[in-house]
Chain A
Amino acid sequence: MLPVSKLPIDVKGLTPEMHEELEKRVLEFERDHEASVSQGGEGYVPLIRKGDFVFAGVFNAIIVVYFIIAVLVM
């Protein structure tokens, strides 16, 4: 494996301007966010929270219980 700094961006079919913009965005991300992301921190936008999973989990647990009662038991 090459060192990170030697990894070329080699997406084919991009115009030179687009390639330059892609390179710029990757460098910006590496400079501003990569260290944080590598430690489990945020990338471009704020991280998801545990409460988000809990909310969705509880909602779906209710549906599962409803399903068990209405379809499997009755």
Chain B
Amino acid sequence: MVNRNSIQGAVYTSLLPAKKSDRIYGMWDLIFVQICFGIAAWFFLTGSQAGCLLPAYQAIPVILLGNCTGIFLISFLSIVSSRYGCEQMTVTSGVFGQKGAMLMLIFFLIACYPALALASLMFGQTAIKFIAMLGGLGFWTQEGWAVTIFALVALLGGTYIAFLGPTAMRWFTRISAISMGVILLGLIIYLFTYHGLASVFEAEPSDPFTDADMGEGMGIRWSKATALEANLGLGMSWGFFFGGWSRLAKTESNGYHGCQWGWGALAVVAGLFAAFAALAIGKYDVTSWFLEVSKDTGSVILPLAGLLLFALANLTSVATLVYPEAVAVKAKIPKIKWIPALLISIIPVLFMLNNTVYYMVSNVYAFIGFVTGIYSAIIVADYLFISRGKFRIREFFSLKSGYQYAKGWNPAALIALIAGFITYLLILNPLTWTSVTGLFPYTTALIPMFFVTAIVYTIAMKVWIIKKYKIPFVNDHEIEE
């Protein structure tokens, strides 16, 4: 007799397709879950950076465009997983081929590592500020190794929460959401009480690019393009996460809207108020705001409580990234045990727990957007112009015979991938933040990369792959009776 609990567990951890009766999320359920999942370190840091680069009247549209329109471009990713009840990496094999999907699993992990490092380092920053406020001195209150050590604690702690599984995750996510909500509310009250909206809108950004450094009239261009690139990167960073949630949506519309608004228009409120706080306080480091709050209000207890909640929220952010990573590894390679899957999800992060990474949010999110955007562009182009979301479910699970294309790889996807890489790198090097062609800061790198990748994939499929290979329900209409 089949153990129903293990079957239910396998449905929720992505091994089995989720049938209609397994679906648990309506649109509002998903929106709420995604706000909890989405409002975290990343929104505070990218928002804060926008506030350090641009005045409020420009930071607002940049944050909205980056996060809302960035996610809108890739929102089609939710649909196929809802239709088949299969998670993202499983349906990816229909587009990239079975071996290509393994490559995309590596892309997914690579995209998660720097985000994990940021959340862990933010915990480290929070910890040293907490100790400083308690009157501590010396090593444990200074940036450097102390931040790294605390970040390591967060990484291991978050991984342990992920190890405990979905029930523990659910509780921590709820606590984290409440914590972030309280911090956000406190921040809003503080901003309105001690600074006022007018002063936020009159404030000059504290750390913009300058004409002296970038050339006549170029400082503002670099500031705008940098803030937009980081926020677009965050908007597109959700690409690998859609399927894990939308496969449990009760309708395709629920999955589409739940993810898009939860991670986009609603969670972005955190980014907007982070930008306002950065403008009012004049500092990028989100955790240092608590010290300013303490100075302005004369209270130690409130900022201490805020730091504690912030640390907890960052710990949960780590867990909420490690868990889907490990689930994706398990779903694609079921023979891997849970602990090795968790270790694969975090070990490279150990090499990124350097305090300087904390101040490289543009580079981090440009890189994540770069990796995720290329993948998303191909999946979106396939949905809109090639498959229209029609796949043969058996081929997803027939690893040696289904969706093989050329020995397990779809050449069109690989060519588009290379075209996307070249396009991005010609416009912007996300690590050195320089432009070999000089096109950045006149354009972002992510948007042209997205469209070039999608166009190259569509053309390669139509003129070559569809004519050469049988693709279910595109040029092969055999149905299993």
The reply to whether A7 and B395 contact each other, CB–CB distance below 8 Å, is yes
B249 at the interface (CB under 8 A from A): yes
A44-B62 in contact given A2-B401, A56-B72 (Cβ < 8 Å): no
A37 contacts B253, CB within 8 Å?
no
Q: Which residues of chain A come closer than 8 Å to B82, judged between CB atoms?
A: 43-45, 48
**Residues of B within 8 A of A (CB-CB), count:** 64
| CB-contact partner of A26 in B390, B393, B404, B476, under 8 A | B393
- Bound complex: CA of A71 vs CA of B56, how far in Å? 11
Task: Contacts A5-B480, A71-B62 given; indicate if A18 touches B15 (C-beta within 8 A).
Answer: yes
B371-396 with Cβ < 8 A to chain A: 388, 390-395
Q: Does B283 contact A (CB under 8 A)?
A: no
Q: Is residue B68 contacting chain A, with contact meaning CB distance below 8 A?
A: yes
Shortest CB-to-CB span from B76 to chain A, Å, is: 9
Q: Given A21-B7, A37-B473, A59-B265: A13 and B393 within 8 A (CB)?
A: no
A1-32 vs B, Cβ < 8 Å mask (1 yes, 0 no)? 11111111111111101101110011011100
Complex: chain A residue closest to B3, CB-CB: A17
Which residue in chain B gives the minimum CB-CB distance to A61? B69
Residues in A whose Cβ lies below 8 Å from that of B390: 37-38, 40
Cβ-defined contact, A67 with B17, below 8 A: no
Say yes or no: A56-B75 contact (C-beta < 8 A), given A13-B335, A63-B64: yes
Partner of A48, one of B256, B392, B402, B477: B256
In the complex, the chain A residue whose C-beta lies closest to that of B60 is A70
Residues in B49-65 with C-beta less than 8 Å from chain A: 57-58, 60-62, 64-65
Which residues on B sit within 8 Å (CB–CB) of A12?
Answer: 333-335, 399
Give the chain A neighbours of B257 by CB distance below 8 A: 52, 56
Taking residues whose C-beta sits less than 8 angstroms from the other chain, chain A's interface range is 35 or more
Which single member of A8, A22, A30, A48 contacts B253 (CB below 8 Å)?
A: A48
A34 touches B58 (CB 8 A): no
Question: Does more than half of chain A's interface fall in helix, strand or loop, or is it mixed?
Answer: helix
**Distance between A64 CB and nearest chain B CB, rounded to angstroms:** 6
Q: With A14-B334, A67-B61 known to touch, is A45 a contact of B249 (CB < 8 Å)?
A: yes
Q: Is B170 an interface residue (CB 8 A)?
A: no
Which among B249, B256, B257, B398 has the highest number of chain A CB atoms within 10 Å? B398
| Residue A47, interface by CB 8 Å | yes
Could you tell me the distance in whole angstroms from the C-beta of A74 to the nearest C-beta in chain B?
Answer: 8
Considering the chains assembled together, what is the distance between the CA atoms of A40 and B20 in angstroms? 18
Interface residues in B144-182 by Cβ distance below 8 A to A read none
Distance between Cα atoms of A64 and B64 in the complex (Å): 9
Q: Which residues of A contact B60 (CB under 8 A)?
A: 70
- List which B1-53 residues lie within 8 A (CB) of chain A: 2-3, 6-7, 10, 15-20, 23
A37 to B72, CA, bound (A): 24
CB <8 Å contact, A21 and B2? yes
- Shortest CB distance B320–A (Å): 24
- The residues of A that contact B388 with a CB separation of less than 8 Å are 40
CB atoms of B23 and A38 under 8 A apart: no
- 4 further A-B pairs in the complex, CB-CB below 8 A; given A10-B400, A26-B17, A29-B17: A38-B473, A45-B82, A56-B256, A60-B68
**Which A residues have a C-beta under 8 Å from some C-beta of B?**
1-15, 17-18, 20-22, 25-26, 28-30, 34-35, 37-38, 40, 42-49, 52, 56-57, 59-60, 63-64, 66-67, 70-71, 74
Q: Closest 8 interchain pairs by CB?
A: A13-B335, A13-B334, A43-B83, A48-B252, A7-B398, A67-B61, A67-B65, A30-B480
A sample of 30 cross-chain residue pairs with beta-carbon separation below 8 angstroms, ordered by A number, consists of A7-B401, A8-B400, A10-B400, A13-B334, A17-B3, A21-B2, A22-B16, A29-B84, A30-B393, A34-B393, A34-B479, A37-B473, A43-B84, A44-B83, A45-B20, A45-B83, A45-B250, A45-B252, A46-B251, A46-B253, A47-B252, A48-B82, A48-B252, A52-B253, A56-B256, A64-B69, A67-B62, A67-B65, A70-B61, A71-B61
Binding site for A on B (CB under 8 A): 2-3, 6-7, 10, 15-20, 23, 57-58, 60-62, 64-65, 68-69, 72, 75, 79, 82-85, 224, 249-253, 256-257, 260, 265, 333-336, 388, 390-395, 397-402, 404, 470, 472-473, 476-480
